[in-house]
Every structure is written in structure tokens, then in C-alpha cells.
Amino acid sequence: MSGQTDHANLFDDARSRLEEVCQAIDIQGDARERLMQPSLSLQVSVPVRMDDGRLKVFPGWRVQYNTTLGPAKGGIRFHPDVNQEEVTTLSFWMAVKCAVVDLPYGGGKGGVKVDPKQLSKLELERLARGYVRAIADIMGPDRDIPAPDVNTNATVMGWMADEFDHLARGKVPSAITGKPPELGGSLGRVAATGRGALHVLDLWAAREKRKPEETTVAIQGFGNAAYHFARLAHDQGYRIVAVSDSKGAIYSEEGLDPDAIMEQKQRNMRLHEMVYCDDSVCIAENVEKLDRDELLTLEVDVLALAALENQVHEDNVDRVKAGALLEIANGPVSSRADERLEERGVPVLPDVLANTGGVIVSYYEWVQNRSGERWPEEEINRRLAEHLERQSELVFERAEQEEISYRRAAYRQGIERIAHAIELRGNCQDSE
């Protein structure tokens, strides 16, 4: 994506972080070898009949990085910049993330190289169904369970789940998570990533004896993850002074109201019967407009990154003036930039912990689908809060005891768990 690290380097970057963790916690031999490569990588072509009768073929990928702890789990991204390197890196991060929060999952990720905003609703549905047909052989509740990611939402997951049911000749709701509740989706899933990020921020703020009302926050991105984070943080008293999206940024010293901004965007969306909110946050009135990337350099207490990977990099990190960073997106800070922040003593609440709310509630969806239960939203939110508190405290304590960054502590926690499971499984899989 944008930024200074190209896609090939993204995976190298991720692997060098892995190398460093393996050395620090003395993971050698089998586990290290296995973790350096994805276990399965599938490239597909997705033919789509366009509304005007032409056929267009979109390249797509699904990567299962590691499935030692359980079936692969991870979202599907529709974006013009998607490529194999990016999907592989995202699947690696998913493997680490699921292990950091102790879920019985490996890591997976998928994507299609497409600008979905150029497609009609029917074309988008055909693309979603075609992608599922292309990867169906490696999917399933015990093999690989997709979910939403950038530009794919509950509506898209509903089409995908329906397509998988057709192929399976029966109902298999646990094959895909993030579905609409009417089709077996979990209550609370849509807001879960933002809610989870807020829990992690709250837990950290409590340790720092920092009160929400004394904390200013700037948020990069105003999509699914960012909006729910913004709304819940605003309700809790944090002052959201700036938000941005791909088209621009807005600022208000007194604080913005995320619901008012979303309400305006959705009104236009309903009017035009769209699947995505295509309006920018810049439609908000009575606020200052900023250049999109100026938001990254604001003097705020917390900079929440909720757009795409590699947004804070070697060339702009020294202009970042926030007191702390919260990574809601996957990989928004490059490893070089991360080192600089560490040298400057700027705490970073890392993606592999801070954005796990979505996958945790996806796990609850999978459990509900498999058991035929439906849990009330309060119960889901309570479980999510308890789950994140347990795992976050382990990361925070480890960081304190070993005098390392939160990211290093989280990676050590996750990689240690995967490596231990690899050792316990013995040697059978090496002769497959």
C-alpha cells in the first residue's frame, strides 16, 4: 500500500521481526523453519460477467500461513493494491494475532485485486460468489474460515456464506464469520474490532493513570474498525479531535461527533442504494479541513491508525508527534519506524493485540454456529472484555518485566505459543 516499503519488503519486514523474536526467546530448529514460510498459498482467477455483458477476470489469493493451533482464520480484502506478498504478510500477522490472544486458530488471509467501488451491487455479488467457488476446496469450518476485511462487510460475507452452502449442499454457517445476524452472524461482530481496540487502550490508560476526558485522539481511517472505535471512545469521554479517510481529514479542537459524521454518510448511501459509504468524512460541516496525511503529524495524546499497512514509515516517523500509537489496522507502522518510536520512548499498542476484537468475536460466532446457540450481545461484549483483559495484562506485564516494547512482548507471547504447539505435534507432519 502507500508508504515507503514496497510489497516485497512487507513480508521481509514481517520475517525480520519474526527472526528477532525467535532469537530473543531461543526458538530454533523445527518451529523456526516452519514459521518462516506460509503452509499453503493459492492463486486464483475470478471471472465476473459484468452488467454490460463483458467478462472481466480478477486475480485473487488465499494464503494459510500456519495451522498448528487450529484452522486458518482471517479476512478477505477487496482492493486495487492487493497482491500475493501483501496477503501472505497479512496471513502471517493473523497467525501471530490468534496466538497472542490464545484462540484455537492458525492464520489465513485472502484478497482480490479489484476496485470494488467501480462495481455495481450485482457485479460485486458475482465477484464474492466467484471468489468462494475458486477457493472452496481449501475452505471449511475445520480448515479455513474467512471473515471481512478492507472493503468487505457483512453483506459480502452473507453472499459468500450462501455460495458456500450451495457448494456444500447444506448449511455450513461456521465456514465464514462476520455474516449478517439473520444468516447466523454473531451479535456484536460489526463493532468488535473497534470495541476491542478501545478495551486495549483503556487497559493501557488505566495503567498509565490517564483519564479518557484528558486524552485527545486522532484517528486515521473512518471505515468499519475506525468508526466503531471512534463512536465508543467518544461515548466514553475521549476527545476525538481528528479523523481521516482516503480522501481527506477533518479537525476540531473541541472534539468531533463520529455518529453525526456517519449519519450524514449513510443518508447518502441509502439514497444511492450503495454497498459502501463512498462519501468522505470531509462532508462534515463546521470543522477544519486538513490534508489527509497531516493528521499523522498532529500533537495528540493518541494516534489511532485504522486504515492500511505501512502508514507510518521511515520518512514520516520523525514528524509523528503523538504521545502514543494505537494500531487498529494491520501493520500500519513499518519496523524501521517502530525502532525510531521505541528509541524516542513512544509507546505503541500493537496490531497483534489491539485489533484482535474482531477475530475474538468471529471465534464466538464460529462457536455459536457449531453449537447452534445464539448468545445475547451483552454476553458477547462481556466475554470479549474479559478475554482481552486476560491476554493484554499478560502482554503488559511481560513488557514490564523484560523491559521491552509491547510489540516485542506480544510477539514473544504469540510465537512462543505456536512454537510450543509445533514441538508438541511431533514429526508426522514433516513427512507429509
Q: Which residues bind ligand NAD (CB under 6 A)?
A: 2, 148-151, 193, 220-226, 244-246, 292, 306-308, 328-330, 355, 358
Closest separation in Å from C-beta 216 to ligand NAD: 18
End-to-end CA distance of the chain: 36
C-beta closer to ligand NAD: residue 27 or 334: 334
C-beta closer to ligand NAD: residue 226 or 320: 226
Closest separation in Å from C-beta 417 to ligand NAD: 19
Closest separation in Å from C-beta 356 to ligand NAD: 8
Closest separation in Å from C-beta 261 to ligand NAD: 11
C-beta closer to ligand NAD: residue 38 or 221: 221
CB 284 within 8 A of CB 264: yes
Closest separation in Å from C-beta 120 to ligand NAD: 19
As beta bridge partners, residue 216 has 239
Distances (CA, A) of 9 to 12, 88, 226, 340, 393: 5, 12, 26, 18, 32
For CA atoms 183, 185, 190, 191, the dihedral sign is positive
Return the SS3 of 209.
coil
Residue whose Cβ sits closest to ligand NAD: 223
C-beta closer to ligand NAD: residue 27 or 242: 242
What is the set of active-site residues? 109
Q: Where in 11-105 does DSSP place strands (E)?
A: 40-49, 55-66, 72-79
- Nearest-angstrom CA–CA distance, 298 and 282: 17
CB 72 within 8 A of CB 107: yes
Side chain identity, residue 103 = L
- Phi-psi category of 368—alpha, beta or left, where left has phi over 0 and alpha has psi -120 to 50? alpha
C-beta closer to ligand NAD: residue 88 or 422: 88
Q: How far is CA 377 from the centre of its chain?
A: 21
